[in-house]
Amino acid sequence: MQIERSPVIILVRPQMGENIGAAARAMLNFGLTEMRLVDPRDGWPNPKAVAMASGAAGRVLDHARVYPTLAEAMEGIEYAYATTARGRELTKPVLTPEAAMTEARAREGRSAIIFGPERTGLENDDIARASAIVTVPVNPDFPSLNLAQAVLLMGYEYGRDILPPEPAPHLRRGIAETPADRIEIERLGDHYDDQLTQAGFFFPETKAASMRLNLRNMWSRLALTQGDVRILHGILRQLTRR
């Protein structure tokens, strides 16, 4: 599924083919299909990127376009977001991923999200070509994100209010998955009460009533299935036989 007018993902001077392939996978997870590469270090095409993209995401790479400079890669883009923790000395709006992608969804023209090279991130010359800065609120002691992680995060924020929610999987419930009813749990409690009484568990006599109450209360708190109840009965039978 491709989202209409979805943002272009621009990877500036990406270093590792594996990260480009992983970014393609992250893009397709959220319906983003247009990738542009600026001066990839190891050239293009890159077999390591194809191997990492794995399957359907390979078509993102098949249509990826390569540019010598970021300025040329901005062809047809009306508004661009630079993902960086740097560049604060430049006068630009600084947004969270959620705020930036909410804004991008509302725009009529084409937007782009710009990601820098793995080792250094975007330089100020790159950031100067963007309309706004996107900074992820992360642990200040470890602010670095993997390239594919950053693409995934931005893709999620863009697509989460557009893509249809996935329905919960339909389970064919057998005995193993069907919740036990109160009577089944009551009988299980009786079985354990009887056997534990015979084993002398409820001792001393002055505490027996509160011990029984706590045990019964424990059974009622557990979210047991019919399968669970059968197993617990079986365990107790086997122990008492011995």
Give per-residue pLDDT as tens, 53-85: 978 888 999 999 999 999 999 999 999 999 998
42 is written with which tokens?
Answer: 């190891």
Q: How confident is the model at residue 99 (pLDDT cuts 50, 70, 90)?
A: very high
Query: Residues 129, 80: contact at Cβ < 8 Å?
Result: yes
Residue 217 has a CB neighbour count (10 Å cut-off) of: 10
CA distances from 210 to 183, 207, 214 (A): 22, 6, 6
Please state, for a pLDDT cut of 70, what percent of the chain lies above it: 92
Secondary structure (3-state) at 80: strand
75 is written with which tokens?
Answer: 């062809």
Q: Would you state the pLDDT for residue 144?
A: 78
Q: Would you state the pLDDT for residue 86?
A: 67
79 is written with which tokens?
Answer: 């508004």
Phi and psi of 17, rounded to 5°? -60, -35
Q: Would you state the pLDDT for residue 242?
A: 67
- Residue range 177-183: average pLDDT? 87
> Does the pLDDT value for residue 148 go beyond 90?
yes
222 is written with which tokens?
Answer: 């557990």
Query: Residues 111, 101: contact at Cβ < 8 Å?
Result: no
Give per-residue pLDDT as tens, 149-161: 999 999 999 988 7
Tell me the C-alpha distance between 12 and 122, whole Å.
8
Q: Would you state the pLDDT for residue 241?
A: 84
Q: Would you state the pLDDT for residue 165?
A: 72
The distance in angstroms from the start CA to the end CA of the chain is: 61
Q: How confident is the model at residue 171 (pLDDT cuts 50, 70, 90)?
A: low
